[in-house]
Structure 1
Amino acid sequence: MPDQEPAQPGPDAPRRGVSRRGLLGGGVLLGGAALATGGYVAGQAGAEAAGGGGDTASYPFRGTHQAGIVTEAQDRLHFAAFDVITDDRDRLVDLLRRWTDAAERMTQGQSAGPLGAVNGGQNLPPDDTGEALDLPPSGLTVTFGFGPGLFDHPDDGDRFGIADRRPAALEPLPHFPADVLDPARSGGDLCIQACAHDPQVAVHAIRNLARMGFGTVSVRWSQLGFGRTSTTTTSQSTPRNLFGFKDGTMNIRAEETQALDDHVWVGADDDPAAAWLTGGSYLVARRVAMTIEVWDRQPLGDQERFVGRFKGSGGPLSGGAEDVDPDFEMQGSDGPIMPVDAHVSMVHPSRFEGARMLRRGYNFVDGTTELGGLDAGLFFIAFVRDPRTGFIPVQTAMARSDLLMEYLRFTSSALFAVPPGVAPGEHVGQALFA
């Protein structure tokens, strides 16, 4: 586990004041090898823990772990899942190389390709789509994941000769009680999570990576998000979800190095067949539609009982500030002050042998439903060391008994193995295909 102390100013620290135009047009292009080496040697976590929000912040792409996990959560998300439409291993590996180069460039405020959007030939498509010209890096992070179908496709089997390296925990998530999943927006062979403070920067990243994958991958589904619903560093305040409640109060933070080792990063002895995943994690993605209009008609007292927290302060109903642990034994006139089926009660780590997850979700509003209500909710993202112990039991208990389930509909579900960070001269997932 790398040092988690805030980085000193240097190649790893979030950089400010360097515009995309300055990088491309001012003759200050930084060599890729220099960026990679500086970011990798010093380690990523310190810079990420230091945070730095704002449009001019940037984070190194390379490091011990992929950026976009413990990085200070940005304001905007574009998430995309892909199907691999080739059985040519070399072609897939070549795409991963090109994606790595492009992601490294874009996270540093550069174009997706070396010629950019306007410097190529007039008779050729440009190297970059151009909508992020003149925009700063905006804290962009790009995180890659591999789905179960990459290893053993339900129709085409072991297309790339890696089935024996599939992690035992990388199975499609089960169908939980009350799931109403849309298969067309679930699953995927690959995923890319792009987070930034500017939505156009995040969309630009996914757009260009999808464009580069033409003929090798196709977009299966995607999701835009705004307004983070979690806190990933101690410097951030707790945000609110679309129900109006503070969300992610007890989330794992970047500064909790032991908790990250215990609950987020895959250990060297976790799965001998998948040693390539050591230092990586598992990404759980679940699209949670909220019945906003029904919720908005509930009395405040009922809303607080359903959640188990006060809406204003975020503190538990048993008393105290937001960060005080709930007292599940405290009794009131009608039983426990903390209802046993309140959301906080149902998902508390004490019920699951201390299992925790690092949440990194976003709100979404995708227009209206066919009934005229808001198509809105939470795009839930969590990183866990093992979904079999860190997520599936929690979601199962919630789906069966949580009072909030009356106001939630899970419409999308996916699981991906997230490789560790990328070393200088390597591409994402290189150890898997070595």
Structure 2
Amino acid sequence: MCPQESRGGGGLSRRGLFTAAGAGGIGLAAGAAGAFAAGRERSSPVNDVVPLYGAHQAGITTEAQDHMHTAAFDLTASTRQSVISLLRDWTEAAEAMTAGRDVGATGASGGAYDAPPEDTGEAQDLHAAHLTITFGFGRTLFEKDGEDRYGVRSRLPAALIDLPLFSGDALEPNRTGGDLMVQACADDPQVAVHAVRNLSRIAFGRARVRWSQLGFGRTASTSTGQVTPRNLFGFKDGTANIMAQDRDLLDKHVWVGGSPAAEAWLDGGTYAVMRRIRMHVETWDRTTLREQELVVGRTKRKGAPLSGGDEFTAPDFSLPGRNGPLIDAGSHLALAHPDHNGGVHMLRRGYNYADGTDDLGRFDAGQFFVAYLVDPRSHYVPMQSAMAKNDLMAEYLRHTGSGLFAVPPGIQAGEYIGQPLFS
């Protein structure tokens, strides 16, 4: 795991401050109190800070947190310099929030009474909660309606395509696309919401929210130390995911490198595919266990492939059953497996969602699918095209939102997100 994407760092919490004082650590407590007053540090236990800076952006191979708030923005800025100013302001705010500090010099309650606070305040007294904020650029940042909006059209990556409309898609415009993407993940849902809310506040006059999505309960593991989670169909999800420890697979299937000169600003970055997938849970809940396992290709209890073994046993797609292979060729496992996709892997980092009910009383619930990959043309489009047509699970799903974003590499102190693109 890259240092900047591992959980670590942190500082003295308020509770720790007073404990130190009570134990005779008066000097330590006084020094920490001064640092808190100067930096407006929120309560942060040791090891709950993920550094913003590093070779790659945090929030990709970082051990997946349990809560997510993602938003896409449409730029209203009229000039290139205004976009750069926004990215500078966002970077400064992201550094503060991921470190467990309020945004701005005066934070949520230290400024003038006759001016709006510099921080919205709902994360006061909360931990940094392993907050990560990951940024991405949509195709329309580079070109929209044939216009070179901000002088970067010549640097549009060839792989940043308009995703095709897949069979069965029912995409809603207000859940699709966007010039900029922000994904905040944290152990505390309020910390994640606080991050996106503050970035939206900072963007006023330069960008506005196009869509946003809350997520809970990760649907994949990104570290070998994590247990494979379950999705809203009750099955383990992401068993074959790329892990942070898989350096060779990350270099081959996730991180962009060796780009032509016009696209070199993205080297060290990646692409993020985001799909809002509504799951017809009411129909699924009336489906027999036998049918559910046939559709998925795995057992519901242990997550083992139907060909036998345990969760991590390699599936045997040729092993015969009574009526053909034990693992159906149209099962989700078979169609998504690297063996049937030219050896292609993706780093999945999605979340469950539940957004109330529709006018028929059905749950609007499902998965906010997120995958990081080196090239969507080879790593996502062929697989999704096949699954949309042949996946037995397709009748239980409806894709209602979609986005593809170029995710710039990480930065060092003093830089801003996406700086190589505008340099």
Sort the TM-score into its range (normalised by shorter chain): over 0.9
Counterpart among 399, 404, 423 of residue 393 in structure 2: 404
The CA distance in 2 between the partners of 1:29 and 1:324, in whole Å, is 50
Identical counterparts, % of pairs: 53
Cα pair distance change 1:17/1:301, threshold 3 Å = farther
What does residue 161 of structure 1 align with? 151
**Residue by residue, what CA displacement relative to the aligned partner does 1:304-356 show, whole Å, maximum 9, x if unpaired?**
00000000000000001101111001011211011000000011111121111
Q: What residue number does 1:238 align with?
A: 228
Q: What CA distance in whole angstroms lies between the structure 2 residues aligned with 1:30 and 1:353? A: 56
Quote how far apart the aligned CAs of 1:28 are. 2.4
- What secondary structure does 1:28 align onto? helix
Deviates more, 1:237-246 or 1:112-121: 112-121
The partner residue of 1:15 within 3, 6, 9 is 9
Distance 1:31 1:246 in 2: 46
Q: Distance in 2 between matches of 1:246 and 1:220?
A: 32
User: How far has the Cα of 1:29 moved from its partner?
Assistant: 5.4
Structure 1 residues 307-318: aligned runs within 5 Å: 307-318=296-307
CA contact (8 A) 1:55 1:137 kept: no
2:282 aligned with 1:293: yes
Distance 2:37 2:50 in 1: 14
Is 2:327 the partner of 1:338?
Answer: yes
Match of 2:94 in 1: 103
Could you tell me how far 1:228 is from its partner in structure 2?
Answer: 0.3
Q: Distance in 2 between matches of 1:12 and 1:182?
A: 36
List gaps (5 residues or longer) in structure 1.
Answer: 33-52
Q: In structure 1, how many angstroms separate the alpha carbons of the residues matched to 2:240 and 2:36?
A: 41
Matched, 1:26 2:33: yes
Partner Cα separation in structure 2 for residue 188 and residue 78 of structure 1: 15
3-state DSSP class of the match of 1:27?
A: helix
Deviation by residue 1:275-298 (Cα, 9 ceiling, x = unmatched): 000000000000000000000000
Is 2:81 the partner of 1:90?
yes
TM-score in terms of structure 2 length: 0.92
Aligned to 1:57: 48
Distance apart, 1:54 and its partner CA: 9.0
Unaligned regions of 5+ residues in structure 2, if any? Answer: 18-28
Alpha-carbon distance in 2 for matches of 1:229, 1:12: 19
How far, CA to CA, are the matches of 1:25 and 1:91 in structure 2?
A: 37
Per-residue deviation, 1:138: 0.4
Matched AA of 1:238: T
Whole-Å separation in 1 of the counterparts to 2:261 and 2:203: 31
If you compute each CA radius of gyration, which structure gives the higher value, 1 or 2? 2
Q: List aligned pairs for 1:310-389, cutoff 5 A.
A: 310-389=299-378
Distance 1:237 1:153, change over 3 A: same
Distance 1:6 1:419 in 2: 18
CA RMSD of aligned residues (A): 2.2
How many residue pairs are counted as aligned between the two chains? 406
Displacement after TM superposition at 1:6 (Å): 7.1
Aligned residue in 2 for 1:220: 210
Q: Contact 2:7 / 2:63 at 8 angstroms: preserved in 1? A: no
Matched, 1:392 2:399: no
Q: State the Cα deviation string for residues 15-58 of structure 1 (Å, max 9, x = none).
A: 356337979982225999xxxxxxxxxxxxxxxxxxxx999611
